[in-house]
């Protein structure tokens, strides 16, 4: 069974209805390490060696965060800047993350209709996630399409529960099956 590391970044987790439900469904699963970055590093002082150790111990890396200004929250970016070191994660000898699996799990306030060339956000989420995709590529990881929960403001409790179950199923799939054949997305 593959080991999954959820790097969760949310500056106001206590106020997020959607993420509370999502996290509830996955954080205690077997083989899953739920790592709450804002709780661990409230002062942005990331323990790089500890993070590197965590990464080497896991096969699947999930960047789980809300979508703020078409991007991740700042601590998540800080994590990328600090932890993915030259000659470790990338560079001539940077092979530490080679062939690990990586994906974003994202909640957005706006609905799917807003994230397209006709919508007010002009681009799709996948397009906005190009930097993450390329980051994973440079680190020799297999980047999978994101798991999206969109329009969270309008979702009912039941719908959120359904997303939670889906998130959990996704992790089951990632743990047991060959990962590069997975197709998922929002219905």
Partner 1 sequence: MTGNILFNVIVFLTSAIICVYIAKRLGLSSVLGYLLAGVLIGPYVLGFIGEEGEDILHFAEFGVVMMLFLIGLEIEPKNFWNMRKTILGMGGIQVVGTILLSYFLFMFFGYESNVSLVISMAVALSSTAIALQTIKEKGLMATTFGTSAFSILLFQDIIVIFMLGAIPLLSNAKNAPIEKSVGHGNLLDGLPFGFQTLAIILSVASIIVAGRYLIVPILRKVARTGVRELLIASAFLIVFSISLLMEYVGLSPALGAFLGGVVLSNSQFKHELESTLEPFKDLLLGLFFMAVGASINFVIISKIPLTIGGLLIIIILLKAFVLFITGRIFKLKFDQKLMLTFGLAQIGEFAFVVLSFAFQLNILNQEQMDIMLVVTALSMSITPMVSAFNERILLPKIGTKESIKRPMDHIAKSHKIILVGFGHFGSTVGRFLRSHGIEATILDHNSNRVDFLRKMGFEVYYGDATRKDLLESAGIAEAKILICAIDNMDVTKKVTKLVKENYPHVELMVRAKNRDAAYDLLNMGIENIYRETLDTSLALAKDTLSKMGFRKYTLNRQVKNFIKYDEDSLRRLATEPKQDKNFIFKARKELEEQERLLNADLERGVVIYDDLWDSEQIRKTLEKQQKNNTAQNK
Q: Binding residues for partner 1, per CB under 8 A? A: 43, 45, 48, 81-82, 85-87, 91-92
Least Å distance, CB 43 to partner 1, is: 7
Inter-residue contact 35 to 3 (CB < 8 Å)? no
Cβ closest to partner 1, residue 20 vs residue 82: 82
Burial class (CB in 10 A: 0-12, 13-18, 19+), 134: exposed
Cβ closest to partner 1, residue 80 vs residue 140: 80
Least Å distance, CB 53 to partner 1, is: 16
Least Å distance, CB 86 to partner 1, is: 5
Cβ closest to partner 1, residue 3 vs residue 44: 44
Q: How is residue 149 written in tokens?
A: 């929960």
Inter-residue contact 163 to 149 (CB < 8 Å)? yes
- The C-alpha R_g of the chain, in whole angstroms, comes to 16
């Amino acid at each position: 069974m593959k080991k999954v590391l959820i790097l969760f970044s949310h500056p106001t987790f206590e106020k997020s209805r959607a993420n509370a439900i999502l996290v509830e469904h996955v954080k205690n699963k077997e083989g899953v390490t739920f790592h709450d970055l804002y709780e661990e590093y409230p002062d942005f002082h990331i323990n790089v060696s500890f993070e590197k150790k965590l990464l080497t111990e896991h096969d699947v890396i999930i960047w789980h965060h809300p979508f703020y200004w078409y991007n991740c929250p700042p601590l998540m970016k800080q994590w990328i800047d600090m932890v993915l070191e030259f000659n470790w994660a990338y560079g001539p000898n940077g092979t530490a993350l080679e062939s690990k699996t990586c994906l974003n799990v994202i909640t957005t306030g706006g609905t799917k209709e807003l994230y397209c060339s006709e919508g007010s956000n002009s681009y799709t989420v996948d397009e906005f996630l190009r930097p993450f995709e390329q980051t994973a590529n440079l680190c020799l990881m297999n980047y999978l399409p994101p798991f999206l929960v969109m329009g969270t403001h309008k979702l009912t409790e039941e719908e959120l529960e359904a997303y939670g179950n889906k998130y959990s199923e996704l992790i089951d799939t990632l743990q047991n099956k060959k990962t590069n054949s997975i197709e998922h997305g929002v219905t």
